[in-house]
């Protein structure tokens, strides 16, 4: 599962995120703006936008939980001070390895705030790799991996020659299955690459314990349909306006 969607967010004020990022250091905003949909209404409005949920429910079904969100900003390598020659990148991995749940698929969204192309570290995916199940992950060999777990899939399990790029314009999104192998190269351009990463799951999913990747879910929100299973707490912030 991997496709590009043209979605208009013209009615939503994007200035908030730019102001927020201008107040924070580059090193912090690279990966630490986590679950701000719980604090900022504009972020929740993005994550629950009807145009986006229409695509997510088409994949996961009518009952959907927003599990997690994060802004990822990859600045030009020349703009961010690095230790020695370490350059931020994202290693080959599967999202579902880090989430700690079973009983359903996961739809991972990248909502582009900046144009994304080869030069600034476009998303690369292996088409059809979601059919292989969960693959072996290990601690990354190369410093600079932006994943909090610092995990990677060993090279011999990744057919890099089959990888395809997912270029985006600002305001477009890519959606991939949680089992899809994907990665990002360093940003070698002079421009920032920022995106809002959102994880959605069906209400049939349930958390499992994983000693390698312990997880809690303080930001899970029912964003569409109903939840008869109640496997995840609905932590909807007071400002969230339910439209379903």
Q: pLDDT per position in the chain (244 positions), as tens?
A: 334 334 333 333 333 444 544 544 455 456 668 999 999 999 999 999 999 999 999 999 999 999 999 998 888 766 655 555 678 889 999 988 878 889 999 999 999 999 999 999 999 999 999 988 888 999 999 998 988 889 999 999 999 999 999 999 999 999 999 999 999 998 999 988 999 999 999 999 999 887 766 788 999 999 999 999 999 999 999 999 876 5
Longest dimension (CA), the chain: 52
Domain boundaries, the chain: 5-224
CA distances (Å), origin 199, targets 64, 108, 120: 10, 5, 23
Query: What is residue 92's three-state secondary structure?
Result: strand
| Residue 45: exposure state from Cβ atoms within 10 A (0-12, 13-18, ≥19) | middle
Q: Tell me which H or E stretch contains 1.
A: none
For the domain bounded by 5-224, which CATH number is listed? 2.60.120.620
SS3 195: strand
């Amino acid at each position: 599962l991997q496709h590009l969607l043209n979605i208009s967010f013209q009615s939503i004020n994007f200035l908030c995120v730019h102001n927020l990022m201008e107040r924070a250091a580059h090193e912090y905003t690279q990966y630490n703006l986590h679950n701000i949909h719980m604090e900022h209404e504009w972020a929740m409005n993005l994550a629950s936008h009807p145009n986006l949920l229409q695509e997510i429910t088409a994949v996961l079904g009518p009952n959907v939980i927003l599990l997690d969100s994060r802004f990822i900003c990859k600045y030009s390598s020349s703009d961010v001070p690095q230790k020695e020659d370490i350059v931020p990148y994202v290693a080959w991995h599967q999202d579902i390895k880090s989430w700690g749940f079973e009983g359903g698929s996961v739809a991972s969204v990248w909502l582009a705030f900046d144009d994304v192309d080869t030069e600034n570290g476009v998303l690369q995916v292996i088409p059809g790799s979601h059919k292989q199940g969960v693959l072996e992950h290990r601690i990354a060999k190369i410093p600079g991996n932006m994943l909090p777990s610092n995990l990677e899939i060993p090279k011999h399990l990744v057919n890099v020659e089959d990888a395809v790029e997912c270029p985006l314009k600002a305001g477009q999104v890519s959606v991939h299955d949680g089992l899809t192998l994907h990665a990002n190269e360093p940003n070698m351009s002079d421009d920032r690459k920022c995106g809002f990463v959102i994880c959605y799951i069906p209400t049939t999913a349930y958390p499992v314990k994983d000693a390698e990747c312990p997880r809690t879910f303080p930001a899970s929100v029912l964003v569409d349909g109903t939840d008869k299973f109640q496997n995840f707490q609905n932590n909807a912030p007071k400002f969230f306006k339910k439209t379903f």
